[in-house]
Structure 1
Amino acid sequence: MQVYVVGGAVRDRLLGRPVADRDWVVVGESAESMLAAGFRPVGRDFPVFLHPETHEEYALARTERKVGRGYHGFTFHAAPDVTLEDDLARRDLTINAMAEDEHGNVTDPFGGRADLAAGVLRHVSPAFAEDPVRILRVARFAARYGFAVAPETMALMRQMVDSGEVDALVPERVWQEVAKGLMEDTPSRMFLVLREAGALARVLPEVDALFGVPQRADYHPEIDTGDHVMRVVDYAAAAKAPLPVRFAALLHDLGKALTPPDVLPRHIGHEARGKAPILALCERLRAPADCRDLALITAQYHTLVHRAGELRPDTLLKLFRDCDALRRPERFAMLLDACLADARGRLGFEACDYPQADWLAAALAVARAVDAGAIARGCAAPQDIPKAVDAARVAALADYKNAHPLPARS
């Protein structure tokens, strides 16, 4: 049995990066011979088998042929006469089209090693254009490795967008790739590559619309809203923030694309205007509820968080209630992380002080420390309990503000 490790495991080993999973390809075998060797079939669309001892997946070498639009529009052929080179030729990028045998010998028929050394993402063959998911994968790899996209590959990606092939992407796969891209080291690279290919306007038009939208230079020396949002997501990534925070960072300013021209560049009211595009994007991509909900409260309340020092005690309590922070302090903490990324995702402000985060976290702890049960027991009428609890929390927040004044945002 001729067995090879292929794809990402070979690529990452050559880059000196950790190898999380290994993909195996078997050459010269059939489904019958795999079953006879004790492998268990698991593949529905093409022959994939579980190793009898390690339970890793082993796929028969195969070729593929495009028969319809989109990710699922392929037929596969797996047989003993399919060579290793045949199998590698169907892969997307040269850096993913290498194989390694049990002795460590690398088969590299398309120059993947040279492209790794040069930091280039290059398609293997014109068949790249048959699968629109590959546009998203190229952009994600750019975010992971910082590699440049080969000019001929970028041209092919643009052709795929122009032909409408990218419109066949299913929402679940778009979300999967976007979520993975957000978790890379430099997420902005994914969105910028998609934008260069013309694909961002098709898969994330709400984000694409931010580029070219001006902002006040005193708060945003980078001026362009799209530039700002890219800096925010990269700061969130550098801070190792979880996915909901990075997603909220990406969407927090969507309302700025809807600012009336007579209000520019101040963007008064952009917080509320962001709700509709966030809901539309999340529904279209079927984003998880935790990501959607954090994005919504970040868009709505990030400017209020920035102005925390100006808020009256009753306004502070309303902020906590509106964000459900009294019941869900962990989500409020993620909101503060997204707001910190927003503050530092500006040209020249990458290391600016942001005391609002710690100050608001402490204020929330003060409000939550009020003994609502004791107050309830002291109320003669049940209907008076909510007002009494609120009054106690406002009083506690007033004491906190007096003891720990926070300067107004400069």
Structure 2
Amino acid sequence: MKTYLVGGALRDRLLGRPVSDHDWLVVGATPEEMTSRGYLPVGRDFPVFLHPQTREEYALARTERKSAPGYRGFTVHASPDVTLEQDLARRDLTVNAIAMPAEWVQPDGSFEPDPDKLADPFHGRRDLEQRVLRHVTDAFREDPVRILRVARFAARFDDFSVAPETMALMREMVAAGETGALVAERVWQELARGLMETRPSRMFDVLRACGALAVLLPEVDRLWGVPQSAEHHPEVDTGVHLMMVLDTSARRQAPLAVRFACLMHDLGKGTTEPALLPRHTGHEKRSAELLHAVCDRWRVPVDVRELAEVVAREHGNVHASGELDAPELVRLLERCDAFRKPARFAEVLLACECDSRGRLGFEDQPYPQRERLLAVLRAAAGVATDAVARTAQQSGATGPQIGEAIHRARVEAVAAVTALPG
């Protein structure tokens, strides 16, 4: 029985990056031996155990063979005769197929690998040095989730390139319809993780290059070649703009919901064909409608979906808010549900700011709309609605009339702080 540290921890340590998790591999053991040593079995699809003290996961060495379509369509063989190299051969990328003996790891979890003594049968160290993402074996094609993982790693390691043979293999997989077998939850999981990487646009560059973006997110893929605006910035490509907006949100360390909203906010650009949506609707409304299909397809969480919908529908109004009078500003706040969800409204404004800065030459431009609308919200939210409602009731108002009285009071408060006519 021999234990190794494998995967991301070793890769990140060799790159000089922080190590967050340890992946442990046990060679030459049986499930019975693991449980006899106090390890707790937790694996459903293959043998994985929790360490009795640290509670870290220890997986038995295994091989995998594709036996049916889909994420779970694998036959797993885990036994003491599976070698370290056989286990590493089933992994996705060479940079993740490196191992070192567990005894090199100190009790506090720190370790200093000796590069010349690592188990590296597929030359992952060489690819780390050359900054290349390369598949380990042709078994890569058996799991289409790996296309998304390569794209996600490209977003994390933004100075790495995808090996030409790996890109060619991914194109073959897409052409063969492999991405059609992807499970919605896994797609969203990988997309969400990729959105939170250092340079998320690279994930979409890779997905677009191999053809997977047209399958998974055709609403986004079609935006390359669509002018950002016929009247304003016709020279700006909407697809390029989206990627700049997305990377701006990453630089601002925005949360996932904001980054997703940045990706989704312009889906309606150019979709004026009657077969898609009515021509008389603005692109903001079209964007919100197309967003629904994306969120349904990949089962996007409700909070992420709702923020993206507000941004898609209202970002044009937020950009133009400096031209709105007090009643229009209050109606904007109401449509955004800002009184009930002020924190979400602040995230809406952050997404809109990223959108405004997502063009060449505008990266550092001020965005006064954000602070102004936050001030407008503070003024409107400061209205004592209970007192207004009581006064309205005393004068005989009921139901919608009370709501209108509160609305008028908020308009007056906004007019006072913006010096705009109420």
Could you state the TM-score of these two structures normalised by the residue count of structure 1? 0.94
Q: Which moved more, 1:171-180 or 1:45-54?
A: 45-54
Counterpart of 1:31 in structure 2 is: 31
CA distance, structure 1, for counterparts of residue 213 and residue 280 of structure 2: 23
CA distance, structure 1, for counterparts of residue 211 and residue 227 of structure 2: 21
CA distance, structure 2, for counterparts of residue 89 and residue 106 of structure 1: 15
Counterpart of 2:68 in structure 1 is: 68
Counterpart of 2:244 in structure 1 is: 231
Q: Which moved more, 1:391-400 or 1:166-175?
A: 391-400
Task: Give the match's secondary structure for 1:77.
Answer: strand
CA distance, structure 2, for counterparts of residue 23 and residue 222 of structure 1: 48
1:118-150 Cα distance to aligned partner (Å, 9 max, x none): 111000000000000000000000000011100
- 1:258-273 equivalences in 2 (<5 Å): 258-260=271-273, 269-273=282-286
Task: Classify 1:126/1:222 alpha carbon distance in 2 versus 1 (closer, same or farther; 3 Å).
Answer: farther
Decide whether the 8 Å contact of 1:256 with 1:267 is kept in 2. no
CA distance, structure 2, for counterparts of residue 235 and residue 267 of structure 1: 31
1:230 CA drift (Å) = 0.4
Task: Give the match's secondary structure for 1:76.
Answer: strand
CA distance, structure 2, for counterparts of residue 326 and residue 242 of structure 1: 21
- 1:199-238 equivalences in 2 (<5 Å): 199-216=212-229, 219-220=232-233, 223-238=236-251
Decide whether the 8 Å contact of 1:4 with 1:99 is kept in 2. yes
Decide whether the 8 Å contact of 2:325 with 2:420 is kept in 1. no
CA distance, structure 2, for counterparts of residue 224 and residue 184 of structure 1: 23
Counterpart of 1:342 in structure 2 is: 355
1:117 CA drift (Å) = 1.1
- 1:235-250 equivalences in 2 (<5 Å): 235-250=248-263
Code of the aligned partner of 1:109: P
Two-structure CA RMSD over aligned residues (Å) = 1.8
1:403 CA drift (Å) = 7.6
Decide whether the 8 Å contact of 2:227 with 2:234 is kept in 1. no
1:265-294 Cα distance to aligned partner (Å, 9 max, x none): x99710011122100000110001111111
Counterpart of 1:45 in structure 2 is: 45
CA distance, structure 2, for counterparts of residue 207 and residue 70 of structure 1: 24
CA distance, structure 2, for counterparts of residue 195 and residue 53 of structure 1: 45
Task: Give the match's secondary structure for 1:63.
Answer: strand
> Is the aligned partner of 1:277 residue 2:290?
yes
User: Which of 396, 399, 402 is residue 381 of structure 1 equivalent to?
Assistant: 396
User: Which of 131, 144, 157 is residue 132 of structure 1 equivalent to?
Assistant: 144
Q: Which moved more, 1:176-185 or 1:34-43?
A: 34-43
Code of the aligned partner of 1:12: D
CA distance, structure 1, for counterparts of residue 88 and residue 59 of structure 2: 12
Code of the aligned partner of 1:381: G
1:168 CA drift (Å) = 0.3
Code of the aligned partner of 1:100: M
CA distance, structure 2, for counterparts of residue 275 and residue 387 of structure 1: 28
CA distance, structure 1, for counterparts of residue 72 and residue 333 of structure 2: 46
Could you state the TM-score of these two structures normalised by the residue count of structure 2? 0.92
> Is the aligned partner of 1:90 residue 2:87?
no
Task: Give the match's secondary structure for 2:206.
Answer: helix
Decide whether the 8 Å contact of 1:221 with 1:347 is kept in 2. no
Counterpart of 1:313 in structure 2 is: 326
Counterpart of 1:99 in structure 2 is: 99
> Is the aligned partner of 1:123 residue 2:135?
yes
CA distance, structure 1, for counterparts of residue 92 and residue 384 of structure 2: 60
Counterpart of 1:113 in structure 2 is: 125
Code of the aligned partner of 1:121: L
Task: Give the match's secondary structure for 1:256.
Answer: coil
Task: Give the match's secondary structure for 1:274.
Answer: helix
Decide whether the 8 Å contact of 1:142 with 1:193 is kept in 2. yes
- 1:1-40 equivalences in 2 (<5 Å): 1-40=1-40
Task: Classify 1:268/1:345 alpha carbon distance in 2 versus 1 (closer, same or farther; 3 Å).
Answer: farther
CA distance, structure 1, for counterparts of residue 246 and residue 139 of structure 2: 33
Task: Give the match's secondary structure for 1:4.
Answer: strand
CA distance, structure 2, for counterparts of residue 304 and residue 95 of structure 1: 46
> Is the aligned partner of 1:395 residue 2:395?
no
1:221 CA drift (Å) = 6.9
Unaligned 5+ segments in structure 1 are 405-410
Counterpart of 1:151 in structure 2 is: 164
Decide whether the 8 Å contact of 1:133 with 1:173 is kept in 2. yes
Code of the aligned partner of 1:353: P
Code of the aligned partner of 2:37: A
Task: Give the match's secondary structure for 1:212.
Answer: coil
Task: Give the match's secondary structure for 2:300.
Answer: coil
1:323 CA drift (Å) = 0.7
User: Which of 150, 153, 177 is residue 164 of structure 1 equivalent to?
Assistant: 177
1:222 CA drift (Å) = 5.5
CA distance, structure 1, for counterparts of residue 417 and residue 311 of structure 2: 24
1:219 CA drift (Å) = 4.0
Task: Give the match's secondary structure for 2:403.
Answer: helix
CA distance, structure 2, for counterparts of residue 250 and residue 173 of structure 1: 19
CA distance, structure 2, for counterparts of residue 111 and residue 218 of structure 1: 53
**Identity across aligned pairs (percent)?**
60
CA distance, structure 1, for counterparts of residue 67 and residue 235 of structure 2: 46
1:287-344 Cα distance to aligned partner (Å, 9 max, x none): 0111111111101100100011111111111111111001111111000000000000
CA distance, structure 1, for counterparts of residue 142 and residue 202 of structure 2: 23
CA distance, structure 1, for counterparts of residue 388 and residue 74 of structure 2: 66
Task: Give the match's secondary structure for 1:49.
Answer: strand
How many matched pairs?
400
Task: Give the match's secondary structure for 2:268.
Answer: helix
1:355-388 Cα distance to aligned partner (Å, 9 max, x none): 0000000001000001111222222224242222
